[in-house]
Amino acid sequence: MRILIVDDHGILREGLKSLIEQQSEMEVIGEAKDGNMAVQLTKDLSPDVVIMDVSMPDLNGIEATKYIIHQKPDVKVIILSMHMDSNIVKESLKAGASGYVLKSNLFDELLSALKAVEANEYYLSPRITGVVVENYKTAQVSASEKNGPKLTTRERQILQLTAEGKTIKEIARLLHISPKTADANRRRIMSKLDIFTIAELTKYALREGLTSLEF
């Protein structure tokens, strides 16, 4: 099994690499420190599995997973997270992830998750299974989901970068667009969400799991 590790903390990447390389049938073929690098390395290296941190600057793990699954549908993605929030779990699975492992149980559960996705199964940390099941049991789709605004992938990226404190010029540079286009997109986001301050945009991004501001 060829594995790509994605996390913005070098110490965690080293720990994961050490654990994985003790397994004779597993090989770490690359490491990435952010979502953009993860997308590019997946394209270049064609790993079997990507171990993906959910909270990263510039392009978070959920958005990176969408790009990866679009490019390489056969790649399995295991999301790593500190959060038990059912919305973040749901968005991870919708993005195409095959596994969701809590960082608090990471080294105990990772090998089980890797074996599960290798067998084309899903893996959720036992501690969040109850949260997810309860969420789906009671999920008559909420009014906000029925009628709420739908943001495009680009708009979600701009929202994340705004919440992370990036200026319009920085957003434009990171996304390879003009500052005028970046500003127009952000104004459209605000209009869609009926939000008109950066503080409220940041709160919305946190609620939606686009960023945790824990990098």
Q: What is residue 57's predicted lDDT score, i.e. its pLDDT?
A: 83
C-beta of residue 101 within 8 angstroms of C-beta of residue 78: yes
Q: What is residue 200's predicted lDDT score, i.e. its pLDDT?
A: 85
C-beta of residue 90 within 8 angstroms of C-beta of residue 71: no
Second CATH level (architecture) for the domain 2-137: 3-Layer(aba) Sandwich (3.40)
Evaluate if residue 139 carries a pLDDT over 70: no
- In this predicted model, what pLDDT tens digit does every residue of 143-199 receive, in sequence order? 445 555 688 889 999 999 998 889 999 999 999 999 999 999 999 999 888 888 888
Q: What is residue 213's predicted lDDT score, i.e. its pLDDT?
A: 56
Amino acid letter for position 173: R
Same fold, 2-137 and 143-207: no
| Rounded-to-integer distance, Cα 20 and Cα 25, Å | 9
Find out if CATH 3.40.1010.20 is the number for domain 143-207.
no
Mean pLDDT of the chain: 87
Residue ranges of the domains in the chain? 2-137, 143-207
3-20 CB burial, b ≥16 within 10 A, e <16: bbbbbbeeeebebbeebb
C-beta of residue 3 within 8 angstroms of C-beta of residue 26: yes
User: Which residues, 6+ apart, have CB-to-CB distance to 125 below 8 Å?
Assistant: 100, 101, 102, 105, 109
- In this predicted model, what pLDDT tens digit does every residue of 9-36 receive, in sequence order? 999 999 999 999 999 899 999 999 999 9
